[in-house]
Amino acid sequence: MTSPLTLDFVMETMKGSGTAEQVRSNRIRITTTPKRVRDAITTSRELLACERLITISAADNGRTLELIYHLTGPHRTVISIAAELPRDAPEIPTVSDILPPAGIYERQIHDLFGIVFAGHPDLKRIILGEDWPEHEYPLRKDWKPGPDTFYGGIREERI
């Protein structure tokens, strides 16, 4: 375990990628744009010693879709890199080549929110059933199950 990262050090290092704030004693949040996410992650891997991806969280705040990448390293500080995407065309470059575990998380977020990760090698269904219709993203706030759509299960009569 090395010593935790300070806010000043992180702000200095990530100057080109976005603004940083200390949201908790061991977590620093960096707000950036979709285009700069890859650079932010590469910088934090190389200069902030963030060797591990914890998870990628996705949320719908009503106006935009948000993606937050959480990384950590031997300093045990969590660096959260956040980006907002527009609802009608949510697209962001993939990071699964820099961080292999991101592959699974991105597939899951694509199924549930419809965010397209450009450059992902294999963005197919992972968490919703095979009969789930395309373009229905259940975790978006404005999604409601359609009364006549078939989402899966059995169509036949009960026995």
Partner 1 sequence: MAAPAASLSQRLVNWARQKSPWITIFNSGGCNACDIEIIACLMPRFDVERFGILSKGSPRHADILIVTGPVTLKQAPRLRRVWEQIPEPKYVIAMGACGADGGVFHGLYHVMQRVEDVIPVDVYVAGCPPRPDEIINAVVTCLNLMSEDAAHGGKEWRQKKRSEFPGGMIPSVEAML
Partner 2 sequence: MPEVIVPIGPQHPALKEPVNFRVIADGEKIVRLELDISYTHRGIEKAAEQRTFIRALPLLERVCGICSHSHSTAFAKGVEELMQLTIPPRAQYIRTIIGELERMHSHLLWLGVAAHEIGFNTLFMWTWRDREAVQDTLEEMSGNRVHYGMNEVGGVRRDLTPSQVNAALQRLPNLEERITKYVDMVQNQETMLLRFRGIGKLTKEEVLKYGAVGPTARASGVDYDIRMDDPYLVYADVPWNVVTDTSGDVYGRTRVRIGELAESLKIVRSCLEHLPEGPIRVNPPKTAPKGEILSRYEAPRGELVHFIRTNGTDRVERVDIRTPTLANWTSVAACLVNQNLADIPVIVAAIDPCLSCTSRITIVDKGDGNTGIVTWDELRRRSRLRDRRQEGA
Interface contacts to partner 2, rule CB under 8 A:
1, 23-24, 26-27, 51-55, 57-61, 68, 70, 72, 76, 78, 80, 99-101, 103-105, 108, 122, 125-130, 138-139
Of 12 and 131, nearer to partner 1 (C-beta) is 131
| Token pair 């989402």 in the structure block, residue | 151
Provide the 3-class DSSP secondary structure of residue 112.
helix
Binding mask 98-117 for partner 1 (x = CB under 8 A): --------------------
Of 15 and 24, nearer to partner 2 (C-beta) is 24
Give the nearest distance from C-beta 16 to partner 2 in angstroms: 24
Q: Is 130 in the site for partner 1 (CB under 8 A)?
A: yes
What angle is formed at CA 97 by the lines to CA 105 and CA 94, rounded to 5 degrees? 55
In sequence order, the 6+-apart residues with CB closer than 8 A to the CB of 97 are 119
Give the nearest distance from C-beta 90 to partner 1 in angstroms: 21
Q: Which of 34, 73, 101, 138 binds partner 1 (CB under 8 A)?
A: 138
Burial degree of 3 (CB within 10 A; 0-12, 13-18, 19+): exposed
Q: Which of 62, 121, 129, 147 binds partner 1 (CB under 8 A)?
A: 129
Give the nearest distance from C-beta 108 to partner 2 in angstroms: 8
Alpha helix positions (H), 56-115: 102-113
Q: Is 159 in the site for partner 1 (CB under 8 A)?
A: yes
* Alpha-carbon gap, residue 73 to 75, rounded angstroms: 5
Phi, psi dihedrals of residue 93, rounded to the nearest 5°:
-65, 150
* Alpha-carbon gap, residue 128 to 126, rounded angstroms: 6
Binding residues (CB under 8 A) for partner 1: these are: 128-132, 138, 145, 151-154, 156, 158-159
